[in-house]
Homo-oligomer: A and B are copies of this chain.
């Protein structure tokens, strides 16, 4: 009766391998005595692989990764300004390609201020919300171009594409999530300026909201939302927003809840047609790579999201609880491995 989960592991660049090692340590420990086995395949992808082979993500890579139940990713991206990476866009060619090709239409990013975590706000209140960021549309579609490039007459365009199909499925996810939480959904957009994209989001939120009379609905312009994130973050429960606004809001939310070293995320395909991918919100931070300075907590909390997604809710809760008690008792500086071991010991 034992269950085997095929897990693709992409440690990536910079601090990616270090934080993933700790995430795997926790994953192994929490599943050691359960009847679930994780059958892991490592994929060497990222800037290092590109520099070696010229490949970012081949069709074969994608096919092999798709043949898994879930993906754990560390971080990808080389040193900013590295001239050898000038023509590579590791973010678009690898990270965003995975999100788009694997139809990760829900980018789930919880924000919680754990007791003991020191954020920049003097009076943060009780922060516990989730951003449901659309993952496959909006300004991220790569629908742009330039004419007269490099000349004084250049015109460069980027088009945000928003479909009723794409907006509705993520809005439904947000309302379903709110039903299991504090029953409040806040749409964040910029409907007064981006009138067409804004209108489709507002219309669909109104429509789906009618099916959830018990869920309160709110709307904020993205600029106002950033104000509330620093002045009254406890007002939020579930935020639903587009790809770009979600990117911005979740970095800010990470900072407000004690730093991007604690912020986890799931790139989810709720239909199960493709494997979902779990990764810390932070990047590869090449400046501190290999020094055991990175906080693996975001990667470890991403494992909790992964376990939860796989229906291993007991294991997920044990990881979250271990992280929570580790954060509550943090004192001096610890190495990446020390944090991972401390959390493992607390499981």
Contact = CB atoms under 8 A, between A and B. Distances in A.
A12 B156 CA distance: 35
Chain A interface extent, by class: 35 or more
With most chain B CB atoms within 10 A of its CB, the pick from A197, A219, A259 is: A197
A96 B159 CA distance: 20
Interface string A157-191: 11111111100100000000000000000000010
Interface string A43-77: 00000000000000000000000000000000000
A248 B231 contact: no
A155 B162 contact: yes
A199 B251 CA distance: 23
Contact of A224 (B149, B196, B203, B251): B251
28 contacts: A89-B195, A91-B193, A92-B192, A120-B230, A121-B121, A139-B160, A139-B194, A140-B193, A144-B194, A146-B200, A150-B203, A152-B164, A154-B200, A155-B161, A157-B159, A157-B160, A157-B161, A157-B162, A157-B197, A158-B162, A159-B160, A190-B244, A223-B247, A226-B226, A226-B248, A227-B260, A230-B255, A252-B252
Given A96-B193, A223-B252, 20 more contacts: A120-B121, A121-B230, A139-B160, A139-B194, A144-B160, A144-B196, A153-B165, A155-B164, A156-B163, A156-B199, A157-B196, A157-B197, A158-B159, A159-B160, A160-B160, A190-B244, A193-B244, A193-B247, A226-B255, A230-B230
Interface of A: 80, 89, 91-92, 96, 120-123, 139-140, 142, 144-146, 148-165, 168, 190, 192-197, 199-200, 203, 219, 222-224, 226-227, 230-231, 244, 247-248, 250-252, 254-256, 259-260
